A and B are shown apart, each in its own frame.
Chain A
Amino acid sequence: MREILIVVPGPGDEAAELTAAARSLGEVRVTAAVFGADEEAAADLAGLCERVVVFPAAPGGVFDGEWAAAALTPWIAAEQPFLVLLAHGNDALDLAPLLAARTDRPMLSDCLEIGLRDGRLVGVRPLHGGKVRARVAAVEAAGYLATVRPGAYPAAAAAAAAGQVVEGPAPTGFSPRREFVGAVAAEAGEVDITQAEVLVAVGRGIEEEENLDLIRSLAEALGAEVACTRPIVDKGWLEKSRQVGTSGRTVKPKVYLAIGVSGSFQHLGGLKGSPFLAAINQDPAAPIFAAADVGIVGDLFDLVPLLEEKIRERRG
C-alpha cells in the first residue's frame, strides 16, 4: 500500500481535501504532518487519515517554511512516503519547492487533478491563468511531491475509525537563518484587491450605501475581498483602492463575482487573467453577461442574501 504524506500547515478545509486527493490514487495509507497541533486538532485529523505526526511548532508558534523543511526532510528520508501532498497556497510556496529540492523529488505544482500511470505521478494543471490546461507527468523516481489547488477535490468525510497520533521529532541542529518577528495586521483602509483570489464586485445596482452591508457580509462568507465600479467610489461609499477598471486597479483573481455591475468596457478593462466570472444582474441585456462564465438574471436584493445563506450552510 502506498504511503502518502499530507502536510497541513494550519487548520481548515485543507486536510480533508488533501486526504480526498490522496485517496483518489487508490489504496493508500495517509499520514498527516502538522506542526504544534493541540489534541483536539490532532484528533480531528486522525478522523481523516491513518496516522498523524505532530511536529513541534516552530519558534514563534507560527508556520515557518524553513523550520518545516528542516523537520520534514529527515522524516521523509527515513519513511520514504510515495507522495508528499500540500495544498497550493501561500504556505506551500514557502515550503513545497524547498522541500522537493531537499528531498530530491520531482514536484508537480498547483494540480487540479493528480493520478498514477505506470507507477508514476501524473497531473492536470492550469496554465495562462486558467485559459489552458496541461497534462503533466513526473519522471520515474522513488517518491514525488505535489501541490493541489484548493477546491479541486471535494473534502473527504471524516471516518469514525481514528488513526493513531504520534509525535514527530524536532529538527536536530537547527540554527535559524530565518526568524519570525511578528504578524502584521492589515493596515486599516488600505486594501490590496490586486492580491485577492476571490473578489465580490459591486456596482450601482446596489442603490444605497447601507445596502453595501449585504455585499460585505457575502464577501465575508466567501472569504473574499469587496471590489467595486467607479460610480461607487465616486459616491464615496468605498475606497478608491477597491475600484477595478482602466482608471482603477487591475486585478487577476481566480473568481470574480459581479453584482449589480453592468460590465462596461472601462470596468472589465481592469479584469485580467481570465477569472471565473459570475454575474448577478437584473438586466438580461447587460454587457456583463457577454463576458461572464455564468450568470443569474434577477434582483440582487433577493439573490444575495440567499447566496450568503447557502454558502454559510455549505461551510457548516
Chain B
Amino acid sequence: MPAIEISPAAHRILQLPASLLQALLLLAAGAAFLWILRRRLQLLRAASPQPRLDRPGRRLLRLLVIGFGQARQPRYRLAGGLHILIFAGFLILSVRSLGLIGEAFAPGFADFGPAYAASKDWVELLVLAACATAACRRLLLRPARYHDRHATESHAREALLILGLISTLMVADAVYDGSGLGLRGETGGWREPLATLAAGLLGGSETTLLRAHLAGFWVHNATLLLFLCLLPLGKHFHVLTALPNVFFSKLEPSGAVKPPSYREADFDSLESVGVGRLEDFGWKHLLDAYTCTDCGRCSDHCPAYAAGTPLSPRMISLKMRAAAYAHYPVFGPVVPPAERPALVGETIGEGELWSCTTCGACEEACPVTIEYIDKVVDMRRRLVDEGRLPATLQKPMAALEKRGNPFGKTARQRGRWAEPDGEEEPLLPALDPGEAADVLFFTDSAVAFDPRLQRTAAAFARLLRAAGVEAGHLGRDEVDSGHEARRFGEEGLFLALREQNRAALAERRFARVVTTDPHAMNALRHDYGLERPVLHHSQLLAELAADGRLSFSPLADRRTYAFHDPCYLGRHNGQYEAPRRLLAAIPGLRTVEMERCRNRSFCCGGGSLYLFNEVECERRMGEIRLEQAVAAGAQVVVTACPFCLINLEDAVKTSGREGEIEILDLAELAARAAGLATPAAASGG
C-alpha cells in the first residue's frame, strides 16, 4: 500500500471535495445534455407518425447484426475496420468511463480487476492508433468519399475535433493509470503497455505523479461530459442514435414504398400528401437525419451521384439535419414554417429529387440503415400535388392516365407484340375474361410497345412454347403497372392503374404470374400484394431448365458474358441466383462477374418514366455501367430487365462500342441457346 491516498475521491480540487465537484459537473453536463436533447425530441414529437415498433424480435436481430455486429462496415476495409475497432473500444471503454465517474464518489469504484485493466489498456492503445490513422486519412489521404461535390461546408473539422476528444480521453486515462502504477510502485509491463509507457514518461517524483494522476482523472471526466454534450450538436449524435436507428429501421422489403399516410387509408380524403416541410416527415426519417454519420457511403454507391446529377443522398440527410437544428434551435423559439426556406425546392432541390432512380444502392450501403427512397418519394408526392412535375414527364403521365401507358399508344396495340410479322399464330394467346392459363405473362408497357423490347417478349414467349408451358397474357386489358407512377409521386394515378389491372387479373384464372420486367414484378408483389406467386422470367426459365423442359446447347461464340443485376430484381427482391443458374445451364458459357455485382450492382439509369426524365448529368449511368462491364472483361452483358437493356444498348452507341460489346436479355440468350430462331435484329434503335 502506498503511503498516501491516491484515489481522486480523497483530494479536494479548488477547495471542493471531489464528490461535490463531480456531482456539480454531472449536474451541469446532464442539464445541458437534456436541454439539447429535449429540443431534438421536440421535432420528433412534432413529426408524422411512423409505426416502427412491430416485430420486436426481428428488430432486435437487426440491432445485433447491423448495430452491435457492425455487419455493414467491412464493405470498406480500412474505414470499416477502423470503425469496428473504435466501436468495440467504445463499448469496452464506456464501462471504464462510468467507473471513473463513480471513482469520484467511492474510491476503488473504477477497479474492475486486472483482467479488465489489461484489456482496456490494450483497447485504448488500439483506439489511439485508430484515431491517429483516421486523422491521417482525413488530413493527408482525404478520400474522395468525404468530400461531397455538393457540400457547401466541410465536416472535417468536426471529425478532427471528435477524434481529438477521443484521443484526449485515452491519453488522460493512460496518464491516470500510469501515474497510479507509479504511485503504487507497480509496473504494468506488457499487460498494460499504455499505462506503463505513461508511467515511464512521467518519471518517479511522487508529487508529479500525484498531480498527473489527479489531472488525468479530471481531464478524463470533464472531457467525457463535454463529449456527451457535444454529441447532439453534430454528426456524432450517431453515437447515441445509431443503435436505436437500426432498431427502428424499415422491416418491409426495400422495394415497397411507404403509404402516403399511416393514419388515413383513403388517399382521396387526405388533406395534404407527401412531405413539404420538416414535420411532414415521419419521426424515424428525422431520426435518420440525426443519425447520419456523414460517412458518404450512400453517395459513393449512388449512381446518380456518380453520373454527376444534382443528387447526393448523403446531402439529403445533412440538409435535413441542418434544417432541423436551425429550425429547432437549442436556444430560442422554433422557427415557424412560413419563415423557413422551402424544404422541397429550396433546401432540397427539385433536380435532386427527380434524379433518384430508387435503385436502393444507398440504403444497402448505409451502415446505420438510413432510408432514402421513401423520403424521395414522399417529397415527390408533394411536388406532384402542387403541380410541379418536370415538363418532359407531363406528357407520359397524361398518357398513363388517358391511355394506360406512357407512350400514348392505344389499348388495341397492346397485345400486338405477340403477333409479329410472319407468324401465323400469336406467340402467346391473349386471355379473354373467364379464360385460364397456368402462367400469366404480365408484359407491362415498355415491353408491350417498344419494338426492341417486343423482341425480348417474343423470345420469352417462344421459350414458353418450347417448354410446353400453358401461358397467356392480358392483351388489351392490361395497363401499366404504375410502378414508376407511384415512385414519381403520382399516387392517385398509381391507384387508378392498379384498380384496372386488379380487375383484369381477377377476371382470369392462373396459378402464377411471370414478367420479364423486374419493376412490374416488384409492383405486383409489393404494391399490389398479389396473392399468387409473381415470378421473374429468370426464375421460371431457370426452373424449366432444371426440370429438363428446356435444354440448351453450347453457343457457337467464344465470348465472355457478364450478368448485370437489375436493381429491382436483386437489391429490392433478393433474387441473385436464378439468372446465374440459368447462365450456368448453358453449357460452356464463359462468364465473369463485374466488381459491382449482386447487392452492390450499379443502376443503369432507371426505367419506365425515367426514360422520359432527362436529368442534367455529366455522364449517363448506362455508360458508367458499360465501362464497368468492359473492365470486367465482358463482351456480352446479359440483363434481365427491359430498361437495363435499353439503357445499356444506348450506352454501347454513345460510347462508340458498337461491334465490341453486345447487350442481351436473358430470354434472348436462352432462346439462342435453345436453338429457337428469333428474327434478325433490326438495325438502329
Contacts and interface: CB of A to CB of B under 8 A. Distances in A.
B434 interface: no
B612 A264 contact: no
Contact of A288 (B450, B612, B653, B684): B684
A220 interface: no
B613 interface: yes
A247 B612 contact: yes
Contact of B613 (A247, A250, A267): A247
B255 interface: no
Chain A contact residues: helix, strand, loop or mixed: loop
Contacts of B614: 240, 247-248
B611 A285 contact: no
A248 B395 CA distance: 11
A195 interface: no
Interface string B415-458: 00000000000000000000000000000000001111000000
A286 B681 CA distance: 11
Interface in B359-395: 392, 395
A264 B684 contact: yes
A266 B392 contact: no
A263 interface: yes
B396 A262 contact: no
A269 interface: yes
B654 A286 contact: no
Interface string B652-685: 0110000000000000000000000000001111
B685 A263 contact: yes
A179 interface: no
A269 B396 CA distance: 10
A264 B396 CA distance: 17
Interface in A246-288: 246-248, 250, 262-267, 269, 283, 285-288
Most A CB atoms within 10 A — which of B395, B396, B614? B614
B176 interface: no
A246 B611 contact: yes
Nearest to A284: B683
Contact of A285 (B450, B452, B653, B683): B683
Contact of A265 (B395, B612, B613, B685): B685
Nearest to B653: A231
Contact of A286 (B395, B407, B611, B684): B684
Contacts of B613: 247
B392 A234 contact: no
Given A234-B654, A247-B392, A262 B684 contact: yes
Nearest to A265: B450
A247 B395 CA distance: 11
Given A234-B654, A247-B392, A250-B395, A262 B612 contact: no
Given A246-B611, A250-B395, A287-B451, A264 B407 contact: no
Contacts of A287: 451, 682-685
Nearest to A234: B654
B683 A265 contact: no
A248 B683 CA distance: 22
A267 B611 contact: no
Contacts of A264: 684-685
B611 A247 contact: yes
A208 to B, nearest CB: 13
Interface in B124-163: none
Contacts of A269: 407
Interface in A172-211: 204
Contacts of B685: 262-267, 287
Contacts of A266: 611, 685
Contact of A283 (B450, B452, B684): B684
Interface in A208-259: 231, 234, 240, 246-248, 250
Nearest to B450: A265
Interface in A34-81: none
A286 B452 CA distance: 13
A27 to B, nearest CB: 49
A310 B684 CA distance: 29
B682 A285 contact: yes
Contacts of B392: 246-248
Interface string B607-634: 0000111100000000000000000000
B451 A265 contact: yes
Contacts of A262: 683-685
Contacts of B452: 265
Contacts of B451: 265, 287
Interface in B94-129: none
Given A246-B611, A247-B613, A287-B451, A231 B683 contact: no
A283 B613 CA distance: 30
Contacts of A285: 682-683
A168 B450 CA distance: 60
Nearest to A281: B684
Given A234-B654, A265-B451, A265-B452, A246 B683 contact: no
A285 to B, nearest CB: 6
A264 B653 CA distance: 12
Given A231-B654, A247-B613, A248-B614, A263 B684 contact: yes
Contacts of B450: 265
A309 to B, nearest CB: 28
Contacts of A286: 683-684
A204 B650 CA distance: 13
A287 B683 CA distance: 7
A246 B390 CA distance: 13
Contacts of B396: 246
A253 B507 CA distance: 43
A246 to B, nearest CB: 5
Interface in A283-301: 283, 285-288
A282 B660 CA distance: 22
Contacts of A234: 654
Nearest to B611: A246
Interface string B546-572: 000000000000000000000000000
Residue among B613, B654, B685 facing the most chain A CB atoms (10 A cut-off): B685
Contacts of A250: 395
A262 B392 CA distance: 22
A193 B685 CA distance: 23
B200 to A, nearest CB: 67
Contacts of B407: 246, 269
A264 B451 CA distance: 9
A285 B451 CA distance: 14
A298 to B, nearest CB: 16
Contacts of A288: 684
A81 to B, nearest CB: 44
B654 A283 contact: no
A205 to B, nearest CB: 10
Contacts of B654: 231, 234
A288 to B, nearest CB: 7
Nearest to A204: B653
Contacts of B683: 262, 283, 285-287
Contacts of A231: 653-654
Contacts of A247: 392, 611-614
Contacts of A248: 392, 614
A286 B612 CA distance: 23
A255 to B, nearest CB: 22
Most B Cβ at <10 Å: residue of A240, A263, A283, A287: A287
A204 B655 CA distance: 13
A61 B626 CA distance: 60
14 contacts: A204-B653, A231-B653, A231-B654, A247-B613, A248-B614, A250-B395, A262-B685, A263-B684, A265-B449, A265-B452, A265-B685, A269-B407, A283-B684, A288-B684
Interface of B: 392, 395-396, 407, 449-452, 611-614, 653-654, 682-685
Given A240-B614, A287-B683, 10 more contacts: A231-B653, A247-B612, A250-B395, A262-B684, A263-B684, A263-B685, A265-B449, A265-B450, A265-B451, A286-B683
- 5 closest residue pairs by CB, A with B: A264-B685, A262-B684, A247-B614, A246-B612, A265-B450
